[in-house]
């Protein structure tokens, strides 16, 4: 069964309207339910492994139990974060509290890293002072059941995280998958050590620690990117771009910027080019419709800046083409927009913006100077006024 389908079926037992995850209250209830599920499963696994580790005398099994206990704490943190992130906006936080989920996921990552470092230390000591691990049927049964439970929890967190767009649950899914590998390593150590006459407990413990550390680093990297202001995915950009271009009266768009204030809290701004010959009230009405539809259909709060474009004027078309050629001589990746002409008695003032990708190694000043040099060498009657933009999004 597909993880998302399985997670949705299970979540529907507790959240009947789970098929509408875009609703903030539905998302909050689903997240809380998922976190409680993680707490219950991890507490049961930790208790079983503490008992098994004590009976078998295995530091790796006991360390794995500590890891499960930390996972339970992480799920509890997730529960609190879903509750807090669902709070509405207020005077101090006009964009809501949804980023609390990112902060909670960062706390989970730090907890995972702490467990990994501690396990690395204890496993190293176990290598220096090895002790035999007593293998019992009960030990094998508990570890196998733990692997199965964590596989289910991985699929559940992955599916529900995808369903409601939760970085917290996706982080829990990554952690669960690392736990599967860790527990399998512990089981393998307990089975192989008696056969080869060498205690692998400490070595396997180090392998477990490395899995846990890798998991924590991956979670921390994702959440920190979101907190710092990670750009939207290409699919999201394409979705927004296609949506806006689907309205009559839109000629083109540029300077699209998307701000992520947490799940369900997306804000965007964009410059939309419209025909300068069309009544500004008509174009403004089109912009209003796009903004409302964007909020209703894509759950994005959009602000549109209108850029009137003069069309079918041979003189302006020729000057625009002239400007595009000079810009392309500097770097073909540079693009022109917001092009206007102010006519003087002897000279022409060309006012325009140039968008440079972040990959462009030239500074804004170098780009501007290079373009001005190209203009002056071709036509002294042209006076360019240039604004350089860096493009977080290419449209």
Q: What is the Cα–Cα distance from 227 to 99, expressed in whole angstroms?
A: 7
Structure tokens that stand for 198 in this block: 């060498």
Instruction: State whether 88 and 188 are in the same domain.
Output: yes
Spatial CA neighbour of 182 closest among 217, 155, 213: 213
Spatial CA neighbour of 25 closest among 37, 36, 16: 16
Instruction: State whether 60 and 181 are in the same domain.
Output: yes
Contact 72, 43 (CB under 8 A): yes
Maximum Cα interatomic distance, the chain, rounded to a whole number of Å: 97
The domain boundary, picked from 258, 285, 308, lies at 308
Spatial CA neighbour of 209 closest among 197, 201, 219: 201
What pLDDT is attached to residue 60? 65
Instruction: State whether 265 and 144 are in the same domain.
Output: no
All residues at 6 or more sequence positions from 180 whose CB lies less than 8 Å from its CB, including other chains? 147, 150, 151, 154
Instruction: State whether 208 and 262 are in the same domain.
Output: no
Q: What is the Cα–Cα distance from 395 to 231, expressed in whole angstroms?
A: 14
CATH code, domain with 242? 3.30.70.1350
Instruction: State whether 262 and 386 are in the same domain.
Output: no
Domains in the chain, number: 3
Instruction: State whether 84 and 130 are in the same domain.
Output: yes
Q: What is the Cα–Cα distance from 84 to 99, expressed in whole angstroms?
A: 9
Beta bridge partners of 356: 390
Task: Give the structural domain span for 279.
Answer: 234-308
Compute φ and ψ for 283, nearest 5 degrees.
Answer: -65, -40
Q: Number of C-alpha atoms within 13 angstroms, CB side, residue 96?
A: 23
Instruction: State whether 202 and 259 are in the same domain.
Output: no
* DSSP string covering 279-317: -HHHHHHHHHHHHHHHHHHH-EEEEEEEEEE--S-HHHH
What pLDDT is attached to residue 133? 60
Rounded to whole angstroms, what are the CA distances from 321 to 315, 350, 370, 386, 388? Answer: 10, 12, 18, 16, 18
Claim: this prediction has a pTM higher than 0.75: no
CATH code, domain with 139? 1.20.1510.10
Q: How big is the chain, counted in residues?
A: 395
DSSP assigned state of 212: H
Structure tokens that stand for 394 in this block: 């290419």
The domain boundary, picked from 245, 280, 308, lies at 308
* DSSP string covering 306-348: EEEE--S-HHHHHHHHHHHHHHHHH-TT-EEEEEEEEE-SS-E
Cα pseudo-dihedral 229, 230, 231, 235, rounded to 10: -140
Q: What is the Cα–Cα distance from 278 to 57, expressed in whole angstroms?
A: 81
The domain boundary, picked from 194, 228, 262, lies at 228
C-alpha R_g of the chain: 29
Q: What does the H/E/C string look like for 22-87? A: CCHHHHHHHHHHHHHHHHHHHHHHHHHHHHHHHHHCCHHHHHHHHHHHHHHHHHHHHHHHHHHHCC
Q: What is the Cα–Cα distance from 228 to 371, expressed in whole angstroms?
A: 33
All residues at 6 or more sequence positions from 215 whose CB lies less than 8 Å from its CB, including other chains? 112, 116, 174, 175, 177, 178
Rounded to whole angstroms, what are the CA distances from 199 to 50, 65, 133? Answer: 20, 20, 8
Instruction: State whether 243 and 353 are in the same domain.
Output: no
Instruction: State whether 144 and 209 are in the same domain.
Output: yes
pLDDT tens per residue, the chain (395 residues)?
566 677 677 777 788 778 777 777 788 888 899 999 999 999 999 998 888 888 777 776 787 788 788 888 888 888 888 888 878 888 888 888 888 888 888 887 887 788 788 878 878 888 888 766 666 777 788 888 889 999 999 999 988 888 888 888 888 888 888 778 777 777 777 778 777 777 777 887 788 788 888 888 988 888 888 888 787 888 888 999 999 999 999 998 988 989 888 877 889 999 999 998 899 999 999 999 999 999 988 889 999 999 888 888 888 888 889 999 999 999 999 989 889 888 887 788 898 999 998 888 899 999 999 999 988 888 778 888 999 988 754 54
Instruction: State whether 105 and 188 are in the same domain.
Output: yes
Instruction: State whether 122 and 62 are in the same domain.
Output: yes
Instruction: State whether 201 and 345 are in the same domain.
Output: no
- Residue 153 CA, distance from chain mean position: 21
């Amino acid at each position: 069964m597909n993880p998302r389908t399985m997670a949705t079926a299970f979540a529907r037992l507790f959240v009947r309207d789970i098929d509408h995850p875009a609703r903030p209250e539905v998302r909050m209830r689903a997240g809380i339910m998922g976190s409680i599920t993680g707490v219950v499963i991890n507490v049961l696994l930790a208790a079983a492994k503490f008992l098994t580790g004590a009976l078998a005398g295995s530091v790796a099994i006991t360390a794995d139990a500590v890891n499960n206990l930390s996972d339970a704490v992480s799920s509890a943190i997730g529960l609190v974060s879903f509750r807090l992130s669902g709070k509405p906006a207020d005077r101090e936080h006009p964009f809501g509290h949804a980023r609390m989920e990112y902060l909670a996921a960062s706390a989970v990552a730090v907890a995972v890293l702490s467990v990994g470092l501690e396990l690395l230390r204890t496993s190293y000591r176990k290598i220096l002072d090895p002790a035999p691990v007593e293998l019992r049927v009960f030990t094998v049964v508990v570890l196998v059941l733990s692997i199965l439970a964590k596989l289910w929890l991985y699929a559940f967190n992955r599916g529900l995280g995808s369903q409601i767009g939760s970085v917290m649950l996706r982080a829990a899914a990554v952690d669960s998958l690392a736990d599967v590998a860790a527990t399998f390593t512990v089981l393998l150590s307990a089975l192989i050590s008696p056969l080869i006459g060498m205690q692998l407990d400490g070595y396997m413990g180090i392998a477990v620690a490395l899995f846990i550390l890798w998991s924590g680093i991956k979670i921390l990297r994702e959440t920190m990117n979101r907190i710092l202001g990670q750009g939207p995915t290409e699919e999201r950009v394409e979705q927004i771009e296609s949506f806006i271009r689907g309205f009559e009266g839109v000629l083109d768009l540029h300077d699209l910027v998307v701000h992520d204030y947490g799940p369900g809290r997306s804000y965007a701004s964009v410059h939309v080019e419209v025909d300068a010959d069309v009544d500004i009230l008509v174009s403004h009405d089109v912009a209003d419709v796009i903004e409302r539809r964007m909020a209703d259909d894509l759950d994005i709060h959009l602000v549109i800046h209108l850029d009137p474009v003069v069309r079918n004027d041979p003189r302006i078309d020729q000057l625009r083409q002239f400007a595009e050629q000079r810009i392309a001589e500097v770097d073909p990746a540079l693009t022109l927009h917001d092009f206007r002409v102010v006519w003087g008695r002897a000279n022409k003032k060309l006012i325009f913006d140039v968008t440079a990708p972040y990959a462009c190694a030239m500074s804004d000043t170098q780009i501007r100077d290079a373009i001005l040099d190209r203009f002056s060498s071709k036509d002294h009657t042209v006076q360019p006024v240039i604004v350089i933009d860096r493009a977080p999004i290419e449209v």
